Amino acid sequence: MVFENKNVLVTGASRGIGKAIALRLAAEGANIAIASKSVEPHPRLEGTIYTAAEEIDKAGTGKVLPIQADIRFEDSINAAVETMVKEFGGIDIVVNNASAITLTPTEQTEPKRWDLMHDINVRGTFLVSKACIPHLKNALNPHILNLSPPLNMDPRWFAPHLAYTLSKYGMSMIVFGLAEELRPHRIAANALWPKTTIATAAVENLLGGDFLIQRSRTPDIVAEAAFHILKRPSFECTGNFFIDEQVLAEEGITDLERYSVNPKQKLMNDLFV
């Protein structure tokens, strides 16, 4: 039970990768706080914070705390952190998973979509991290993990969807900065990104439907990589831009077929890799 008595905050954990990470850490004994907006079922998006909490509770032995929070707003973030600390007594790990996506060229990007992506991906990640830092300073092996890509300045990642790329790279730059800023406090800050597309609602609804789902891996591979990153000593493991496959290879896990939605289909690389 590697994470027994560890207190973990995961944003955007009502479904997809966030929920998978919460489930994996719960199975190792962690107390999980899931902070998301979804409290009512959505016709195109599976799950709420309450249905996710039920699954996580069954998967683990620790406590589970669903918190309705909108990380676009500082008051909502601070209230969520305060609620978690009051319930669990502290924060050991923060997983900044919440994210918005719109893959449009500049002329087709509406201001409200720009604002949404930057408010959640950049501003939200920054403010969640900021609110948690005072509590992470008191933890024994504190980690911040952002679900964001390696910083790759190849123009092909900018031209098709400039606004989205800027917002995700903003999350990665937060890792770049916090890793150095928090080094004296032995707080790790790392990024994790999948090698292939992952079978999530975003992939199905926005990117490629069932065609791409069949050529994707399940969120469990990202969760497994996160598990191995977050158990590493925080003072040794910081400032990294991890790819899930590489993390698992370092752990001696090379047979990844079980993570494929359809092992008969060729996998599709994700963006930015």
The predicted structure's pLDDT at residue 202: 82
Q: List helix spans (H) across the chain.
A: 16-26, 49-59, 74-88, 111-117, 125-136, 162-181, 201-202, 209-213, 220-230, 244-250
Residue 167 makes CB contacts below 8 A (sequence gap 6+) with 100, 117, 118, 120, 121, 122
The predicted structure's pLDDT at residue 47: 83
- Out of 50, 164, 169, 259, the active site residue is 164
* CB neighbourhood size of 134 (10 A): 11
Distance, in Å, from the CA atom of 124 to the CA atom of 11, rounded to the nearest integer, reads 10
State the virtual CA torsion across 159, 106, 112, 125 in degrees, nearest 10.
Answer: 20
Residue 187 has pLDDT above 70, yes or no: yes
Tell me the domains of the chain and their CATH numbers: 7-196+220-259 (3.40.50.720)
Buried b (16+ CB within 10 A) or exposed e, 177-194: ebbeebeeebbbbbbbbb
Angle of CA points 139, 38, 125, to nearest 5°: 40
Instruction: Read off the pLDDT of residues 191-248 as tens digits, 9 standing for 90 and up.
Output: 999 999 999 988 877 777 899 999 999 999 999 999 999 999 999 999 999 999 999 9
Distance, in Å, from the CA atom of 222 to the CA atom of 250, rounded to the nearest integer, reads 14
What are the two backbone dihedrals, phi and then psi, of residue 91, each rounded to the nearest 5 degrees? -135, 130
The predicted structure's pLDDT at residue 205: 74
Maximal C-alpha separation, the chain: 51
Letter for the amino acid at 260?
Answer: S
Instruction: Read off the pLDDT of residues 20-67 as tens digits, 9 standing for 90 and up.
Output: 999 999 999 999 999 998 887 676 677 899 999 999 999 999 999 999
Residue 50 known to be catalytic: no
What are the two backbone dihedrals, phi and then psi, of residue 67, each rounded to the nearest 5 degrees? -125, 120
The predicted structure's pLDDT at residue 31: 98
